[in-house]
Structure 1
């Protein structure tokens, strides 16, 4: 594990939030086959996704990632959550933004569903344009 990621994990004061973050590092690493990397804003990401909007704006983001925030864990997925609707129904307690999920207790989320969300996000981000 990258030293910056390890430092961030060790610095999480809330024990539950730290356990959730460690669980996600393990789960996302297993599902994606990618090592964790620290992105700006305290986001721990797996893999990369190059995006380009119709406006011409483009950049790189994590293919799947999360941020252990004070009140909850934020999961950042590729694309909009509409593409995950079938899975979100089974995830368990969460709230949503456009492209992120807010989960208070990652350990209480349905783990198989969480793995499926991670896999779909990573596959969407890393699929070649011809697919």
Structure 2
């Protein structure tokens, strides 16, 4: 499925609009085209990883998934490095490497864009 087709199928309409806006923002900050990863992740850039166990693979440097309940942004590098930005972001929650936003209107999109840019830059440095 293409990214455009995937985003066109997102429900409800507000989540679809948010997903398109996040997709445009991540394309802008990464300078990379959007591509589908897994069945429901839109990602930008690529990096190769290898765990101590020997397992390895490729994944997007930064990405998001417009889930039914909220939009999830995959923010690499751990959240402590982004504490200042998260304090200014607005209504959100975090999990291990995941930033959850129910509505894009509930956050400061300028701060979100800075956060995404810093996360992408971190990945370029950590995984050249």
State how far apart, in whole Å, the 1-side matches of 2:43 and 2:25 are: 12
Query: What stretches of structure 2 of length at least 5 have no aligned partner?
Result: none
Correspondence for 1:98 = 96
- 5 Å-filtered alignment, 1:1-131, equals 4-127=2-125
The CA deviation at 1:36 is: 0.5
Secondary structure of the residue that 1:127 maps to in structure 2? helix
Q: TM-score, normalised by structure 2?
A: 0.91
Q: How many residues in Structure 1 have an aligned counterpart in Structure 2?
A: 128
Q: CA deviation at 1:33?
A: 0.8
- Structure 1 window deviating more from structure 2 (42-51 vs 54-63): it is 54-63
TM-score relative to the length of structure 1: 0.89
Verify the 8 A CA contact 1:49 1:62 in the aligned structure 2.
yes
Structure-2 separation of matches of 1:8 and 1:128: 30
- Distance (whole Å) between structure 1 residues aligned to residue 89 and residue 105 of structure 2: 11
For structure 1, the 5+ residue unaligned runs are none
